[in-house]
Amino acid sequence: MSLSVDMRHRLGALNLEIAFQAPGGVTALFGRSGAGKTTVINAVAGLLTPDSARISLDGQLVLDTRSGHAVPTRKRRVGYVFQDGRLFPHLSVRQNLTYGARFASAAPRTTLAEVSELLGISDLLDRRPGALSGGEKQRVAIGRALLSQPRILLMDEPLAALDSARKAEILPFLERLRDHTDIPILYVSHSVAEVARLATTVVVLENGRVTRSGPAEQVLSDPDMVRQLGVREAGAVLPATVARHHHDGLTELAVSGGRLFLPEMETPPGTATRVRILAHDVILSRELPRGLSALNILSATILALREGDGPGVIVQMQCGEDRLLARITRRSADAMALQPGDPIHAVIKSVSIARTDVGAG
């Protein structure tokens, strides 16, 4: 367990009572703004001392308010990537990147050249932060945190201040980070899209409490999560492998429950990836549909139905080893007499598996 948090803290009207554990990989702290996410990450970094808490990092107890044991921020070895970057304006990009290295006692795991290469900032080293774009600044901030030889990376909404083009520019680098380093990441976000793309573990915060936590695929395909994610954003995340590229411009992906086709991807066959299938992009059918233009039809078994406040019903299905979510009307659910245990065909509109929703993984 790379991080374990058990804390209580009063924050204005909000009473935080949060306990969770983060294994390796990317653990997303997900919740609306004001749910207490930043307070948690600041407590892990030591920038804030909760009213009572026990936090351990990489097997070391860094805070125990009961015994008064507290490791100061500078000795916690956390690489903090702030929402606003916080690059040192008087230092060059190179000096910013190497800032933490002068205090690091551990032998360097990564070099400046490797990190600059990974983040695509090799050409910026002699510039000043003032001459960088928002996306470049944030990549430098990530590199600076990485080069301080951290035991964990803490990222507080690192993309929230960027426009969607800049977000798209940085997300692949975060995926590379997840896949090519073994540093665990605690990632604070209120964006379902980011969480679906990056997270291996999801911890859901609501009003200062952890309401759900577990592997990303499970949490995101939980019909009870739909209320928190919002019906537009609800959807399952499935691990997939690139099978082959077809001549007609489609790429075939293998998921545990069958095959999916989507517009050509650049990743070579054999690459592991993830697809996100939004619940409102799934149509259900009792019979195997014929004469339908949709290419992607997966056979599944209904696990559960959840009625929401509106006219919709969320249907959770088992599809191979993975789970799928579909959002249909209550009228259809009644007309089809859907019951848990029923076999069903899930029709997925090909366009719905958009390229931006496919993350390397």
**Residue numbers at the binding site for another protein (CB under 8 A):** 45, 47, 72-80, 82, 84, 86-90, 99-100, 103-104, 128-131, 144-145, 148, 154
Q: Are 172 and 360 a contacting pair, CB within 8 Å?
A: yes
Toward another protein, which CB reaches closer, 15 or 73? 73
Toward another protein, which CB reaches closer, 13 or 107? 107
Q: What is the DSSP letter of 187?
A: E
For 338-355, b/e burial (b = at least 16 CB within 10 A) is beeeeebbbbbbbebbee
Q: How far is the CB of 167 from another protein (least distance, A)?
A: 22
Toward another protein, which CB reaches closer, 145 or 353? 145
Q: How far is the CB of 152 from another protein (least distance, A)?
A: 11
Which residues contact residue 59 at a Cβ distance below 8 angstroms, ignoring those fewer than 6 apart? Answer: none
Displacement of CA 178 from its chain's centroid (Å): 10
Toward another protein, which CB reaches closer, 111 or 329? 111
Toward another protein, which CB reaches closer, 128 or 190? 128
**DSSP H/E element including 113:** helix 112-119
Q: How far is the CB of 46 from another protein (least distance, A)?
A: 8
Displacement of CA 79 from its chain's centroid (Å): 18
**DSSP H/E element including 311:** none
Q: How far is the CB of 130 from another protein (least distance, A)?
A: 3
Q: How far is the CB of 182 from another protein (least distance, A)?
A: 20
Both structure tokens of 289: 């549909």
Both structure tokens of 145: 């945190």
Q: How far is the CB of 193 from another protein (least distance, A)?
A: 27
Toward another protein, which CB reaches closer, 26 or 154? 154
Q: Are 315 and 330 a contacting pair, CB within 8 Å?
A: no
Q: Are 60 and 1 a contacting pair, CB within 8 Å?
A: no
**DSSP H/E element including 339:** none
